[in-house]
Homo-oligomer: A and B are copies of this chain.
């Protein structure tokens, strides 16, 4: 006979757990001193405790375990096993989805972070063509949130990149701007009111802007300065890629927003043909 403490060491179950299993009629001590209330377990119960631990490892609930231990190993055993198997598998499936979504999320965050660390200067680079779903709006910029929301609801898991805005205006308009909210997608799929197409690639100048959106004009000034110096001719629409901003989920801190301005250009006209 073992006291509860000794039995606890033998079975790796805590004293609390043993008392709880007693209360739940799952592992009843072989004898209980009627005076002191002390629980005493015998050797055969070590095996039983091991079985319970094993079944807990199979993710059975205590009430299932009670049922299993009292069952005579008949047909119901197989039924219970299969039910449990299905339940655990579906839970795994659910968690698997979460893991994949988390991985995607982490990937994007890492990208945004590495983007945010690169140089803070005007650069030339080549853009590859990009398949996007877009909604064109004439009005206020504040309406773009609604457009991004609509696209992301329509395309869900087909989304594959950071949101961007195409600006068709050549000057700044407050109330009557002409712009298009776009999200990169993996697959063609037609949705009412959404334009799906491939944005052209090509040579562009790019500047990564760090800070709130109302300071964007400074970065625009720098990038146009660069274009003018080289007599490059900016093509509309210009693009703003929101590497880090108020996403679907987090508002974030405007000081930490990271936006990339991309302007495709035609090379200088006169001497570039050689």
Q: How far is the CA of A119 from the CA of B247 in the complex (A)?
A: 67
- Identify the stretch in A64-72, A165-173, A225-233 within 8 Å (CB) of chain B at 4 or more residues: A64-72
Assess the B58–A98 pair: CB atoms within 8 A.
yes
Assess the A81–B55 pair: CB atoms within 8 A.
no
Which single member of B92, B109, B248 contacts A81 (CB below 8 Å)?
B109
Q: Report the nearest B residue to A99, measured CB to CB.
A: B88
Q: How far is the CA of A47 from the CA of B247 in the complex (A)?
A: 11
Q: Which B residues are CB-close (under 8 A) to A97?
A: 57
A217 to chain B: closest CB distance in Å?
Answer: 23
Assess the B98–A59 pair: CB atoms within 8 A.
yes
Assess the A77–B109 pair: CB atoms within 8 A.
yes
A8 at the A/B interface (Cβ < 8 Å)?
no
- Identify the stretch in A15-23, A100-108, A205-213 within 8 Å (CB) of chain B at 4 or more residues: A100-108
Which single member of B55, B92, B250 contacts A95 (CB below 8 Å)?
B92
Assess the B58–A102 pair: CB atoms within 8 A.
yes
Q: How far is the CA of A99 from the CA of B95 in the complex (A)?
A: 14
Q: Which B residues are CB-close (under 8 A) to A72?
A: 250, 252-253, 256
Which single member of B50, B92, B95, B250 contacts A73 (CB below 8 Å)?
B250
- With A74-B253, A85-B103 already in contact, 9 other A-B pairs whose C-beta atoms are closer than 8 Å: A51-B248, A54-B248, A58-B101, A58-B102, A58-B105, A85-B99, A88-B102, A92-B92, A95-B95
- Point out residues on A near B: beta carbons under 8 Å: 47, 50-51, 54-55, 57-59, 68-69, 71-74, 77-78, 81-82, 84-85, 88-89, 91-92, 95-99, 101-103, 105-106, 109-110, 113, 149, 244, 247-250, 252-253, 256
Which 8 residue pairs across A and B have the least CB separation, nearest first? A72-B253, A73-B252, A51-B249, A85-B102, A59-B98, A73-B250, A58-B98, A92-B95
- Pairs A–B under 8 Å by Cβ, sample size 11: A50-B248, A51-B249, A55-B249, A57-B101, A58-B101, A73-B244, A73-B252, A74-B256, A81-B105, A88-B102, A92-B92
